[in-house]
A and B are shown apart, each in its own frame.
Chain A
Amino acid sequence: MLAGSILLFLLVVGLFLATVFVPRFGRSISPRNWIIGGGIFLPLPILLALTFYALWQGEYLLRGGGGFPLQSPLRVEAHGTMWQWRFSYPDIRGATPTSGTLHIPTGRTVEIRVSSSDVIHSFWVPRLAGKIDAIPGHTNYLRLRADRPGRYGGVCSEYCGTGHAGMRFVVQAHTQEDYLAALAEEGGR
């Protein structure tokens, strides 16, 4: 997409400069062909291809990346309030809710149920997935998947008041083996 854009940009600006500064440039092309060629035949195929690719890519991301998952996704909940995120783990018996840090296992698709009870926030972990809004009165779902253990930074990306810039959180990905232990330890604290 980036390379294509650079090409198109150079094409249009180049054409502008050429028509202005190179005498008789493009005179042999009839106005009609200029318009039909550049205005319709140039953009249409590109847009068509791009739109379908985006649709396919969107479906892929909605599954949380990866192939069709065999395992059902692990469900967790993210609840935004002014100005912190609270996470709970309905699929894991006895897990206590955490705030500011979301613990997930690696190699498994996680389905996050995103909600809010005050204003609109938006849940975003740039390195793992796109964003989804937390809207009071609605629940939204986002799937993501971390293949490697580690800390992934997250932010609130919808303006939600003076604490917006500080409404950060961390997604901590643990290997499958460590995961339960990490959650239990979190509860013990």
Chain B
Amino acid sequence: MSRSGEQHRSPVASHHALERIWETKPGWGRLAAVNHNTVGKRFMLTAIVFFAIGGILAMLIRTQLASSKSAFMDAEQYAQVFTMHGTIMMFLFAIPFFEGLAIYLLPKLLGTRDLAFPRMSAYGYWCYLFGGSMLIVALLGGVAPASGWFMYTPLSSSVYSPGINSDVWLLGITFVEISALSAAIEIMVTILKLRAPGMSLDRMPIFAWYMLVVATMMVIGFPPLILGSMLLEMERAFDLPFFDPTRGGDPLLWQHLFWLFGHPEVYIIFLPAAGAISTILPVFAGIPLVGYRIIIAALVSMAFLSFGLWVHHMYTVGIPHVGLSFFSAASALVAVPTAIQIFAWLATISHGTPRFSVPMLHIFGFFFVFVIGGLTGVMLAMVPFDWQAHDTHFVVAHLHYVLVGGFVFPMLAGIYYWLPHISGRRPVQHLSHAAFWMVFIGFNVTFFMMHLTGLRGMPRRVFEYPPEAGWEVLNFISSMGSFVMAMGFALIALDFILIFRFGRPFRRNPWRAGTLEWAMPTPPPSYNFASLPIVDRRADLLEPDRLGPLLASGQGYLGFTRNGRMELLGVEIVSGRPEQVVILPHRTYLPLVAALTTAAFFLSILFKLYWLAPLALAATIIVFLGWTRDTALNHDTGLLAIGHGQALPSHIQAERPPSWWAMVFAIIADITAYVSLLFGSLFLWISAPNWPPQQGLEVGSAVPFAVLAVALGTIVLAGRMASASGRCRAGWLYLAVLAHAIAAAILVWLALFVAPDPRTHAAAASAFVVLLYAALHHGIGTVFAGYGIWQIRKGFVSDKRNLDLRLGEIWHTYSALLGAISALFPVLLAGLISGGSP
């Protein structure tokens, strides 16, 4: 019964009871895993496999460049290899690896049992695996993308890349990005809502702050790329000329969209690594991190600045010099928050009593390599210097100093630090030092030379160079260095395996850390904490050795099981006061099924089976709806006891449960994509050649607009009435379905039959996509409303249990707003066109 929990059980009994609920089943059951321990480790392991593949490609590159007229690869093969190397390293290694680390660690650092949406993390993992595999299969089949990792169009357009190579990139990466975006939303909600009681924002472990900032950046930074990829795919598949200069498109639009994502991306990759350093370094310094607050301020300012820097990748496209200097100054300015962090770390060491150990060795590698990368970065931020160095091997050297220094070394430190947590064993130290020095020396030999070849004029992405250019010796040294580095990485991999095989087990907290992840048995049980801790100070000053046994014996919150449900606590965002009992859905195969139908969707577009795509999409939506049944309740419940004599409502009856926040963040991401689309169209009007279009933009007459306005008003009203208490909720929702359908129909009609043929000019294409964007949202609106009706029928809704209707209301209002703006946008565009070009 539901009160079974109040009496205490022995730690072993409570372990078995919890494990039965939270664990991943063996055998086929693994495919149903949703637990963050499993999913986090899968993310990291898969990312390491992709790193190995990317590394092998890097060795192929260096073999090719070791001599001037190498016959090892031809130009086409080389293009596929460097494109895939960059793409794999950025999208399939770096981002998923830190996501995996965050998925594994965050619930532990925050003192809770899992992430906010375990099924979403499982779905994200499968999307990542399938999307990444698409790219690898293409590589093996010799049809990998070949236009460079930033896929500049027109080279990547259907005219100059007629095969499916570019489609593989656009669709595969978008597929993977879905997983990154959902992980980002999940991480934000988890950090904001699912912390241990008493952990106010200013007590959070610093890693959580880093990840909160990173996840926010991802929610804003990824949509422009997803949008850009969709536009380019539409140009390739349906001939909508967004980037074609002969029909009012502009290749520069792609560059802006790409780098609007691409620059923040660099910080998105760096910050989690910096977060790992901020967590590890104080442990080895033996004192708490110095400058906690100023570091947080530095992070936030870095996040803001990073969205204002993208043009420094475009100094040579012909933007006026004065404009460039603003971006140059902003780029230089990012050095300040970076320096603040570096000096906070130095201050921490200097005020502590440092110990040296393998993780610290890698942190030394970080200091050495990253500082060089940062300094060359400041050089490149200077416009005249970049005019020389842009697109040469100097840039290749710079970006590897930043990425390997700012990501690979800190993450190696992190792996050495947390591997005992994952494996329950301490490192055997013999190999670790030798392996580090091989990587470190190999790396510097490889990439230092590239600064020199770059300054001597060697462009990047060339598969051969003239012998008389005098770059051969440097390139040869560089290639030798890279083989040393590769052997170093092989040794590190061996070292990891040895830790699992021969490491000595330990009792608890081997590094004497002060964070919560060590207040649990290692390897960790699936539920992390047998009872949830109470945090009364900054969460890196705790005593895991004292807390661990206490929590294991059930003395924290929720130290029991109730009805076989997966329960944890939701807190008030700022204060960390417990506010609700969050009930998570159980393990299931549905995320895998949903990822498979999603894969079917992307594959049907890739192979141009357009009739299949809507079916796959519909199947995906149906599977998604099936997810929610696990936690639905058909009766109101009272307050639920959480221990210590306190009781809280379940999240289903709470005002602001995690899913409410997830909805808000998802809409923010959606708005970012939409705004990028609108500004993209306006950018074309300002910058693209062949404007205004020959044919004016027809925008429709008053009657459909009036009907649309009524439909949109009805949607807002019906959404509100349905979630407010009352008898005829279902009636309002039927009205909402109808109004959404009418709105969608009008928008589609405007797009297809009123606006001019979108293939004729980018202006028409923009109007077309803007209208369809809104129509799609109304389509989803009918799903929301229909789902509400179904829930009411099943008795899952009451005045207290109206969460899904409230989520629906947010969507209804938002889609109505989109509908209105989208209908008016072509009018605005037509006005601008007839007003002449600017």
Partners in one complex: yes
Using a CB–CB cutoff of 8 Å, the interface residues on chain A facing chain B are 1, 5, 8-9, 12-13, 15-17, 19-20, 25-27, 29, 31-32, 34-35, 37-40, 42-44, 47, 50-51, 54-55, 57-59, 61-62, 82, 118-120, 122, 124, 126, 129-133, 135-138, 140-141, 153, 155-165, 168
B688 contacts across to A, CB distance below 8 A: 137
How far is it, in angstroms, between the C-alpha of A20 and the C-alpha of B350 when the chains are bound? Answer: 7
Most chain B CB within 10 A, of A34, A44, A132, is at: A34
- Cross-interface CB contact of B391 among A27, A122, A140, cutoff 8 Å: A122
Contact between chains at B461 and A135 (CB < 8 Å): no
A119 contacts across to B, CB distance below 8 A: 152, 154-155, 160
- With A8-B371, A118-B154 as contacts: A20 and B340 at CB distance below 8 Å: no
How far is it, in angstroms, between the C-alpha of A130 and the C-alpha of B76 when the chains are bound? Answer: 28
A9 contacts across to B, CB distance below 8 A: 371-372, 375
A61 contacts across to B, CB distance below 8 A: 384, 387
How far is it, in angstroms, between the C-alpha of A24 and the C-alpha of B246 when the chains are bound? Answer: 68
- With A31-B291, A137-B688, A164-B461 as contacts: A130 and B147 at CB distance below 8 Å: no
- Cross-interface CB contact of A40 among B340, B382, B459, cutoff 8 Å: B340
Confirm or deny: B786 has a beta carbon within 8 angstroms of a beta carbon on chain A: no
B75 contacts across to A, CB distance below 8 A: 162-165
B328 contacts across to A, CB distance below 8 A: 51, 54-55
A184 CB, min distance to chain B CBs, angstroms? 30
The residue in chain B whose Cβ has the minimal distance to the Cβ of A9 is: B371
Name 16 extra pairs, CB < 8 A, besides A135-B251, A153-B457, A155-B459: A1-B382, A1-B385, A12-B342, A16-B364, A20-B354, A34-B350, A35-B343, A39-B298, A47-B335, A51-B328, A54-B383, A58-B321, A119-B152, A126-B457, A133-B318, A141-B318
A44 contacts across to B, CB distance below 8 A: 336
Confirm or deny: B360 has a beta carbon within 8 angstroms of a beta carbon on chain A: yes
- With A20-B356, A165-B465 as contacts: A12 and B325 at CB distance below 8 Å: no
Confirm or deny: B316 has a beta carbon within 8 angstroms of a beta carbon on chain A: yes
What would be 13 A-B contacts, judged by CB atoms less than 8 Å apart?
A: A1-B382, A9-B371, A31-B348, A31-B351, A35-B291, A37-B343, A38-B343, A39-B336, A39-B342, A51-B382, A126-B457, A130-B316, A141-B318
Confirm or deny: B462 has a beta carbon within 8 angstroms of a beta carbon on chain A: yes
Contact between chains at A54 and B245 (CB < 8 Å): no
- Cross-interface CB contact of A54 among B339, B375, B384, B390, cutoff 8 Å: B384
Contact between chains at A131 and B339 (CB < 8 Å): no
How far is it, in angstroms, between the C-alpha of A27 and the C-alpha of B354 when the chains are bound? Answer: 12
B392 contacts across to A, CB distance below 8 A: 157
Within 8 A of A (CB), among B129-174: 147-148, 152, 154-155, 160
A38 CB, min distance to chain B CBs, angstroms? 3
Contact between chains at A58 and B325 (CB < 8 Å): yes
B146 CB, min distance to chain A CBs, angstroms? 8
How far is it, in angstroms, between the C-alpha of A77 and the C-alpha of B426 when the chains are bound? Answer: 67
The residue in chain B whose Cβ has the minimal distance to the Cβ of A26 is: B350
How far is it, in angstroms, between the C-alpha of A119 and the C-alpha of B364 when the chains are bound? Answer: 44
**10 nearest A-B residue pairs (beta carbon):** A130-B387, A137-B245, A38-B343, A39-B340, A26-B350, A34-B347, A162-B75, A165-B462, A140-B318, A54-B382
B364 contacts across to A, CB distance below 8 A: 16-17, 20
A133 contacts across to B, CB distance below 8 A: 316-318
Contact between chains at A38 and B339 (CB < 8 Å): yes
Contact between chains at A34 and B343 (CB < 8 Å): yes
Confirm or deny: B290 has a beta carbon within 8 angstroms of a beta carbon on chain A: yes
The residue in chain A whose Cβ has the minimal distance to the Cβ of B388 is: A130
B67 CB, min distance to chain A CBs, angstroms? 14
Confirm or deny: B379 has a beta carbon within 8 angstroms of a beta carbon on chain A: yes
Is chain B's interface secondary structure helix, strand, loop, or mixed overall?
A: helix
B303 CB, min distance to chain A CBs, angstroms? 17
A100 CB, min distance to chain B CBs, angstroms? 14
Confirm or deny: B367 has a beta carbon within 8 angstroms of a beta carbon on chain A: yes
B332 contacts across to A, CB distance below 8 A: 47, 50-51
A85 CB, min distance to chain B CBs, angstroms? 14
Contact between chains at A50 and B383 (CB < 8 Å): no
How far is it, in angstroms, between the C-alpha of A38 and the C-alpha of B152 when the chains are bound? Answer: 39
- With A39-B343, A137-B251, A137-B688 as contacts: A5 and B375 at CB distance below 8 Å: yes
- With A12-B371, A47-B332, A120-B251 as contacts: A137 and B689 at CB distance below 8 Å: yes
Confirm or deny: B349 has a beta carbon within 8 angstroms of a beta carbon on chain A: yes
How far is it, in angstroms, between the C-alpha of A26 and the C-alpha of B464 when the chains are bound? Answer: 50
The residue in chain A whose Cβ has the minimal distance to the Cβ of B314 is: A133
A28 CB, min distance to chain B CBs, angstroms? 9
The residue in chain B whose Cβ has the minimal distance to the Cβ of A16 is: B367
How far is it, in angstroms, between the C-alpha of A37 and the C-alpha of B456 when the chains are bound? Answer: 37
How far is it, in angstroms, between the C-alpha of A135 and the C-alpha of B466 when the chains are bound? Answer: 26
- With A58-B325, A62-B321, A162-B75 as contacts: A120 and B154 at CB distance below 8 Å: yes
Contact between chains at A161 and B155 (CB < 8 Å): yes
A135 contacts across to B, CB distance below 8 A: 251-252, 317-318
- With A54-B383, A57-B384, A165-B75 as contacts: A27 and B371 at CB distance below 8 Å: no
Confirm or deny: B333 has a beta carbon within 8 angstroms of a beta carbon on chain A: yes
Contact between chains at B321 and A159 (CB < 8 Å): no
Within 8 A of A (CB), among B102-143: none
Contact between chains at B378 and A47 (CB < 8 Å): yes
How far is it, in angstroms, between the C-alpha of A39 and the C-alpha of B347 when the chains are bound? Answer: 11
How far is it, in angstroms, between the C-alpha of A153 and the C-alpha of B153 when the chains are bound? Answer: 27
Contact between chains at A155 and B457 (CB < 8 Å): yes
- With A35-B291, A137-B251, A159-B148 as contacts: A58 and B383 at CB distance below 8 Å: yes
- Cross-interface CB contact of B336 among A5, A17, A43, A137, cutoff 8 Å: A43
A29 contacts across to B, CB distance below 8 A: 347, 350
B302 CB, min distance to chain A CBs, angstroms? 12
A27 contacts across to B, CB distance below 8 A: 350-351
Q: Fill in one digit per residue for B65-81: 1 if any A CB lies within 8 Å of its CB, else 0.
A: 00000000011100100
Contact between chains at A13 and B367 (CB < 8 Å): yes
How far is it, in angstroms, between the C-alpha of A29 and the C-alpha of B388 when the chains are bound? Answer: 41
Contact between chains at B372 and A164 (CB < 8 Å): no
- With A16-B364, A135-B251, A140-B318 as contacts: A159 and B350 at CB distance below 8 Å: no
Contact between chains at B390 and A50 (CB < 8 Å): no
Contact between chains at A31 and B347 (CB < 8 Å): yes
A52 CB, min distance to chain B CBs, angstroms? 9
B141 CB, min distance to chain A CBs, angstroms? 18
A119 CB, min distance to chain B CBs, angstroms? 4
B380 CB, min distance to chain A CBs, angstroms? 11
B523 CB, min distance to chain A CBs, angstroms? 31
Q: Fill in one digit per residue for B566-583: 1 if any A CB lies within 8 Å of its CB, else 0.
A: 000000000000000000
The residue in chain B whose Cβ has the minimal distance to the Cβ of A40 is: B336
A160 contacts across to B, CB distance below 8 A: 155
Within 8 A of A (CB), among B287-307: 290-291, 294, 298
How far is it, in angstroms, between the C-alpha of A43 and the C-alpha of B364 when the chains are bound? Answer: 21
How far is it, in angstroms, between the C-alpha of A42 and the C-alpha of B154 when the chains are bound? Answer: 44
Contact between chains at A138 and B252 (CB < 8 Å): yes
Within 8 A of A (CB), among B376-405: 376, 378-379, 382-388, 390-392
Contact between chains at A47 and B333 (CB < 8 Å): yes
Confirm or deny: B690 has a beta carbon within 8 angstroms of a beta carbon on chain A: yes
B708 CB, min distance to chain A CBs, angstroms? 35
Contact between chains at A137 and B690 (CB < 8 Å): yes
B690 contacts across to A, CB distance below 8 A: 137
Most chain B CB within 10 A, of A39, A44, A129, A140, is at: A39
- With A131-B390, A157-B391, A164-B462 as contacts: A136 and B343 at CB distance below 8 Å: no
Contact between chains at A126 and B384 (CB < 8 Å): no
B367 contacts across to A, CB distance below 8 A: 12-13, 16
Contact between chains at A1 and B462 (CB < 8 Å): no
Contact between chains at B155 and A159 (CB < 8 Å): yes
Confirm or deny: B49 has a beta carbon within 8 angstroms of a beta carbon on chain A: no
Contact between chains at A156 and B459 (CB < 8 Å): yes
